[in-house]
Chain A
Amino acid sequence: MKILVAVKQVAALDEDFAIRDDGRDVDPDFLIRDLNEWDDFSLEEAVKIKEGHPEPVEVVVVSVGSDEVDESLRKCLAKGADRAIRVWDAAIEGSDTIAIARILAAVAKREAPQMLFAGVQSSDQSFASTGIATAAFLSWPHAAVVTSLTYSPGAESAVFRRELEGGILHEVEIQCPAVLTIQLGINTPRYASLRSIKQAAAKPIEVLSLADVSLGAADVGEAGSLSRVRRMYVPDKGRAQLIQGDAAQQAARLAEIIREFKGAAA
């Protein structure tokens, strides 16, 4: 039995940053990298299922990116993944969510897992699409924003709840294998112990080329994408009126706002 977990190393902006010379992204020197927050939850879900299952279950993480992504893959290995796969080729540069999904689907075909998890979205691009597009390339059943899951590896179906707007859940039964995108809060992701971090350093990260997954340059990059970034810019933000002074003065003004509101409401 196998669960494949698609993960992404996301980027956050440093306090000061500059936009790249071509004007289409941030200069990578100003980006702080980490494992996508959502992926921490989907990995934990897979590891939890593995630990609760009497038969052996392999948890494999897959990511698309250059060798700097290994840092996040090592983190996943330390948190309980058995094996990691990374796909990279210079032609992948400039891929959108759909082209990335095509690569992930190609890996899934090779790995043939019984279930594929992805995060609902990434914290940097926030497209909320990669997992579901991956399902399309696999022709697998799929569901988004899963906030609780009952699944036994190898079962023909799973039952989950998806989290709708406004505090409503929708319970659904789905045929497997399936792609589920996992929402924050589905579980409590573990911290990696020092021992597991050490062990993770010895686990393999398999690096695949496009040819290894039977794709070509035309399937990825701008050619394989459904959108293209024309321009990036810093927006003029609507700004709050800042309350100045020391903490006592700021609190005093806040108290005034509260009393004004209560006066008006009374």
Chain B
Amino acid sequence: MSGVLVIAEQRRGELRPVSLELVGAAQGLRRAGEEVTVAVLGKTPEGFVKALSVAGVDEIVTVKVPAPEFDPDTFESAVGALIAERTPDVVLVAHSVDSFGYAAALTARLGLGFATDVFKVERVEGELVATRGVYGQKVNVEVDFPRRGTVLLAIRGNVFKAPEQAASPRVTPFDAPQVASRSAGREFIELSAGDDVDMTTAEFILTIGRGIGEEAKVPQFRELADAIGATLGCSRPIADAGWLPKSRQVGQSGKTASACKLYIAMGVSGAIQHLAGMKHVSTIVAVNTDAEASIFGVAKYGIVGDVFEIADELRRLF
């Protein structure tokens, strides 16, 4: 077992940014003389070579597969064949919706060491040790992989730094085995706006979460958002319950609030997916009754208190 194999992620012709973060994570794992190899799967994988040619990559393996987009059987088979040929010490994939669809099946079948949602990884006396959060991210566990050769780790996004410098790694094509895939992608559907809001361009967002308790409370927060000049957003449970349209949901699976600079979260406890989707915001203010809520771990300012009382007081000032 030698070297680090990174599986890049692409969707609809674009490399997903987490791919380069995986290259960043790989640097701390390569032992003296070992290489970091990045594999990219697609119909025309050569198209991603330039974007993947960054410092820290020794080799790019282009894997031509018939499916234009992610497909579990295709990925499982191709990545499995690549692992069999290269016998890497560590395989890094993103902890993402695509890897949810195949990584566990691959490791179960091949008997690889396996951990997901890993945000820290190191070698302790030569042994690979991965750290992940459990019980609502309130405690961490260190995980190791006794008796396992190759270890596959699904790495949390927005944790490791992507290398910025360009480089010229060698490029090797790889023939993936033929596979009769048992599922077929039909089309992508963009979440339609539903109303006239565009969360991707909003700079100031006020979000409500489960803590507001009932649907009848939504209008008062809508009114507050208008008064203070914020765009009203929500966390997943609010959109799932239909209290606000899905287009107002922010967090990892909601609309990317990429332009947001000031984010006030009221009654949002902060599921990991929500926090991951909002981590880039420079000023997060969290208002929550629970002093232990995870959102206080990423917020710049915290108010421990009753969301309705704070909302009423704030409304009076605008």
Contacts and interface: CB of A to CB of B under 8 A. Distances in A.
Q: Are these two chains actual partners, yes or no?
A: yes
B58 interface: no
B228 to A, nearest CB: 6
Interface string B279-318: 0000111110000100011111111111001101110111
Interface in B110-165: 111-117, 129-130, 132-136, 138-146, 148
Interface residues of A, number: 84
Contact of B305 (A166, A169, A247): A247
Interface stretch (A85-93, A106-114, A195-203, A231-239): A231-239
Contacts of B73: 141
B100 A234 contact: no
Contacts of A34: none
B104 interface: yes
A258 to B, nearest CB: 6
A26 B102 CA distance: 30
A126 interface: yes
A145 B103 CA distance: 14
B190 interface: yes
Contact of A181 (B100, B190, B254): B100
Contacts of A175: 182-183
Interface of B: 11, 69-70, 72-73, 95-98, 100-109, 111-117, 129-130, 132-136, 138-146, 148, 182-191, 203-204, 228-230, 236-237, 239-241, 246-247, 249, 252-256, 261-262, 264, 272, 283-287, 292, 296-306, 309-310, 312-314, 316-318
Main secondary structure on chain A at its contact with chain B? mixed
Given A243-B303, A247-B313, A125 B134 contact: yes
B114 A129 contact: yes
A228 interface: yes
Interface of A: 11-13, 15, 19, 24, 26, 96-98, 101-102, 120, 123-133, 135-137, 141-145, 159, 161-175, 178, 181, 184-185, 188, 222, 226-235, 237-243, 247-248, 250-255, 257-258, 261-262, 265
Given A172-B186, A261-B261, A239 B313 contact: no
27 contacts: A12-B136, A26-B135, A98-B107, A124-B134, A132-B101, A132-B102, A141-B72, A141-B182, A143-B101, A145-B100, A163-B253, A165-B97, A167-B255, A170-B70, A172-B185, A174-B184, A185-B236, A185-B240, A226-B108, A226-B112, A227-B143, A227-B144, A231-B141, A234-B140, A235-B139, A243-B303, A265-B203
Given A227-B143, A233-B140, A233-B142, 7 more contacts: A166-B256, A170-B69, A226-B114, A228-B145, A233-B139, A234-B140, A257-B283
Quick one: which of B95, B134, B299, B304 has the most chain A CB within 10 A? B134
B189 A126 contact: no
B285 A127 contact: no
Contacts of A132: 72, 100-105
Contacts of A167: 190-191, 246-247, 249, 253-256
